[in-house]
Amino acid sequence: MRHNWIVPLIGALLTLCAAAFSQDGNRQENGGFLPPAELNLRLDAPIAAWDESLPLGNGILGGLLRGEANTLRLSLDRGDLWDLRIPDRFSEPDFTWKEMEKLVRAKDRTALQSRFDNFYNRFKYPTKLPGGRLEITLDPGRKVGRFELDLATATGLVHLEGGGTIRAFYSATQPVALIAIPGADNVELALGAPDAVSQLGYPAARTGRATRSGRATRSGRTDEEVWYVQESVTDLEYAALARARKTRRGTLIAVTICASRDRSDPLEAARSLIDAALGLGWDALFAEHRHVWREFWSASRLSIPDLHHLRHYYLVQYFYGAASRRGAPSMPLQGVWTADNGQLPPWHGDYHHDLNTQMTYDAYQTAGRFAAGAAFLDHMERLLPRFRAFARSFYEAPGAAIPAVMTQEGDPMTGWVMYSLSPTNGAWVGWLFYKHWLYSGDKNDLERGYAFCSELSRCLRHLLRENEGKVLELPLSSSPEIFDNRLQAFVEPNSNYDRDCMEALFVGTAHMARALGKPAEADRWRRAAERLGPRHVDDEGILMYSPRDRMNQSHRHFSHTMAIHPFDLLTVEGSDGDRATIAATMKKYDALGTDWWTGYSFSWMACVRARTAEPEAALRYLDIYEKAFILRNGFHVNGDQLKAGYSKFQYRPFTLEGNFLAAQAVHEMLLQSWHGIIRVFPAVPQRWADVAFDDLRAEGGFRVSAQRRGGAIGSLRIEATMDGTMRLLDNFGSQRPQWSGQKVSLQGDCFVAPMKVGDLVEASFE
């Protein structure tokens, strides 16, 4: 796969405007917003663990910066480094859902595991590949004192004892990282190839060190260069190269990774990039990099009184900019920060679609970071031909289906087959196309969303069978990850999870069809949604896993309550029965406890409780998440790191979805938008008496800004970016808005105003 922004820098004409930027990257510039310095991530040295490092990245390349004494380490990663070999079993003629269904009916777990499951753990491939490590040795008199991530400029800072600061950034416009070390001291480089690839049968990397001289150095001094070239057992070859150049201000280091998909000789491709980057120098590349990040931060801003929550929120927003850029792959489990511990990444570093990718990409819409989210949609759209082929070969169905555990190129990887080969996880992916359009309001997003979702809907509708009660059912059903990897996990159709994923997709597809003037198609998908039958509720009014399986265990995945969050199919604004079901289910969650939750469960429950209008509960779960389930650099981990009894899981591997769920929980407390209605401050806890936000997004393309002081709303501003009708829930109690701008009327429980692009409505409150 060739990425359209990975091109040699030779002859590049950059628009340089360094003079327009102040040295303080934490100031507002030209009316825009940049995160203030107090939100920066700061870590005392030493940092020995790779997963506690400063995370840097530009979407395609990523790095983890750490070190101690006079040594710095930068773990290297590139988003599209994959061993894409697929076990032969996946192409055999009986690798089908029909065969899987037959074995489930026969209760033959041994055959089911050997024929559909065991490949995930038996084979090391397919897998994401690590990129090695750059080590920088400073003069013995220089000591690392503290690390800092400057969010405003996406720059890693290494503050040295006794003064001086080393700076590092991954260029937002070019696939290269630069490191500037002040002073005239000698600097030594060492570049380690990734040892873990030997587990895949790869030969040892070719390594080299060279002294290069030429007119590019200008000073007449020589550059020191280190490199490796790693061959695989396929046609992939990749190379990392780092070069140090003495300048008037100290030493400038450039580093990159190139692959044979960029150029037949990846080492020469890397040299071209490094030549051009060092020729341009720090100031030129940093000016353009800084401009991109200034635009990124201008999308929205918010303020809450809990500094630790605010820091985490902005760190997670930074993750979108550092790890999800259009033209590069979307984020898998660990983004662009693959493990640097001598091992291949946990869970193959793959794409899990039974929660992980969807929750990773469920927080960008409200923040208005549509380009970051579009990286995921672009990736999935590019793989549509592969998904069509998978629907034909595995499900023997028309349309398209997404493997729930897949490689970067969309091939299935199996694992626990009741989830990894379930067709409904892809419905959740499709729903994100629908949600993107709801928030952007853009016609192009509508057209591509419908094209993608209609293919997924067609496959699912083909698989559904009518039972005796005329309800459409799947032949196999499950509820991730209830009952783990046991045969019991194949529950009676349809599980609430399967039902809700399909309803969300069918309803979204119908909505998009209507918007495109396709009434017959809209009716088709509406009818499909209506024929899925009622949601399963027990005699106490509690949501069930399936028609026969009650909610009876503490469990990490809230799969059976997806109707509440994220799908908005069951809401506190619904019927009395809906509210009773929600209340009973939340009470049951509280009774069962959190023993078998993982980190993401706590940040997800914070989102859920905000949706159920329980702000204090939402904040309580968010507090626990940030206290016990993130490492000191902010990375989400699955286990309770405090061993404080929040969860019996205490293991460490990090993934990213918990971080993004925590950011979304903040959004859910401040602004909700569903069913075409905007809700301002719907779930603000008492501790947050003073909060504000600017330019958060709501369905229909609206930008919303609001301020709350002393527990009372003070101001509200809504701007239309698309033509449409603004509907705002009147949840202001005794406070009455005084409107200006477009004419606003109260219709039922909502303030309503027809608006065109650029129109504003503003309100002050008595």
Q: Identify the DSSP state of 205.
A: P
**Burial category of 389 from C-beta neighbours within 10 Å (exposed 0-12, middle 13-18, buried 19 and up):** middle
Residues 6+ apart with CB under 8 A from 10: 272, 275, 276
CB atoms within 10 A of CB 14: 13
Q: Distance between CA atoms of 192 and 249, rounded to whole angstroms?
A: 27
Which is higher by pLDDT, 734 or 26?
734
Q: Is 693 helix (H, G, I), strand (E, B) or coil?
A: strand
Q: What is the tens place of the pLDDT at every residue in 528-582?
A: 999 999 999 999 999 999 999 999 999 999 999 999 999 999 999 999 999 999 9
**Residue 18 above 60 pLDDT?**
no
Q: What is the tens place of the pLDDT at every residue in 583-616?
A: 999 999 999 999 999 999 999 999 999 999 999 9
Among residues of the chain, what percentage have pLDDT more than 90? 92
Residue 298 tokens read as 């201008």
Residues 6+ apart with CB under 8 A from 146: 42, 43, 44, 45, 158, 159
Distances in whole angstroms, Cα of residue 749 to Cα of each of 557, 672, 685, 728: 34, 16, 23, 8
Residue 41 tokens read as 């991530």
CATH of 18-82+129-298, one of 2.70.98.50, 3.40.50.800, 3.40.50.2300, 3.30.70.380: 2.70.98.50
**Residue 492 above 50 pLDDT?**
yes
Q: Distance between CA atoms of 307 and 698, rounded to whole angstroms?
A: 25
Q: Distance between CA atoms of 714 and 691, rounded to whole angstroms?
A: 10
- Note the pLDDT of residue 25: 34
**Residue 482 above 50 pLDDT?**
yes
Q: What is the tens place of the pLDDT at every residue in 715-748?
A: 999 999 999 999 999 999 999 999 998 899 999 9
Q: Which residues share a beta bridge with 708? A: 691, 713
Distances in whole angstroms, Cα of residue 482 to Cα of each of 173, 353, 416, 531, 551: 44, 16, 11, 25, 10
Helices (H) and strands (E) in the chain, counts: 18, 31
Q: What is the tens place of the pLDDT at every residue in 520-535?
A: 999 999 999 999 999 9
Q: What is the tens place of the pLDDT at every residue in 616-638?
A: 999 999 999 999 999 999 999 99
* Biggest CA-to-CA distance, the chain: 85
Distances in whole angstroms, Cα of residue 269 to Cα of each of 174, 206, 232, 279: 13, 16, 18, 15
Q: Which residues share a beta bridge with 77? A: 62
Distances in whole angstroms, Cα of residue 349 to Cα of each of 117, 127, 200, 654: 18, 6, 15, 10
**Residue 4 above 70 pLDDT?**
no
Determine contact, residues 361/330, Cβ cutoff 8 Å.
yes
Q: Which residues share a beta bridge with 246? A: 251
Residue 353: HSE in the Cβ half-sphere, 13 Å Cα cutoff: 32
Determine contact, residues 732/750, Cβ cutoff 8 Å.
no
Residues 6+ apart with CB under 8 A from 433: 377, 380, 445, 448, 449, 452, 453, 508
> Which segment of 100-114, 203-217, 385-399, 476-490 scores lowest on mean pLDDT?
203-217
**Residue 129 above 50 pLDDT?**
yes
Nearest to 751 by CA among 722, 723, 721, 716: 716
What DSSP string runs through 710-726?
Answer: TTEEEEEEEEESSSEEE
- Note the pLDDT of residue 221: 65
**Residue 219 above 90 pLDDT?**
no
Mean pLDDT score, 73-93: 96
**Residue 81 above 50 pLDDT?**
yes
Domain boundaries, the chain: 18-82+129-298, 92-119, 307-675, 691-765
Asked if residue 175 has a cis previous peptide bond (ω within 30° of 0), the answer is no
Determine contact, residues 144/69, Cβ cutoff 8 Å.
yes
Distances in whole angstroms, Cα of residue 673 to Cα of each of 173, 468, 611: 34, 38, 10
What does the CA dihedral 91, 92, 98, 100 come to, rounded to 10 degrees?
Answer: -90
Distances in whole angstroms, Cα of residue 5 to Cα of each of 131, 175, 451, 460: 20, 8, 26, 36
Q: Is 600 helix (H, G, I), strand (E, B) or coil?
A: helix
Nearest to 116 by CA among 487, 462, 494, 396: 487
Q: What is the tens place of the pLDDT at every residue in 308-330?
A: 999 999 999 999 999 999 999 99
- Note the pLDDT of residue 220: 54
Q: What are phi and psi of 686, to 5 degrees?
A: -60, -35
Residue 587 tokens read as 């009470």
Among residues of the chain, what percentage have pLDDT more than 70? 95
- Note the pLDDT of residue 185: 87
Q: What CATH code is assigned to 307-675?
A: 1.50.10.10
- Note the pLDDT of residue 247: 92
Q: Which residue has the tokens 């359009």?
A: 437
**Residue 30 above 80 pLDDT?**
no
**Residue 229 above 60 pLDDT?**
yes
Residues 6+ apart with CB under 8 A from 652: 51, 637, 638, 639, 641
Q: What are phi and psi of 163, to 5 degrees?
A: 110, 155
Residue 252 tokens read as 């400038």
The helix or strand, by DSSP H or E, that contains position 73, with its residue range, turns out to be strand 71-78
Q: Distance between CA atoms of 413 and 236, rounded to whole angstroms?
A: 20
Average pLDDT over the chain, rounded to whole? 94
CATH of 691-765, one of 3.50.50.60, 2.60.40.1180, 3.90.70.10, 3.40.50.10490: 2.60.40.1180
Nearest to 265 by CA among 229, 218, 301, 213: 229
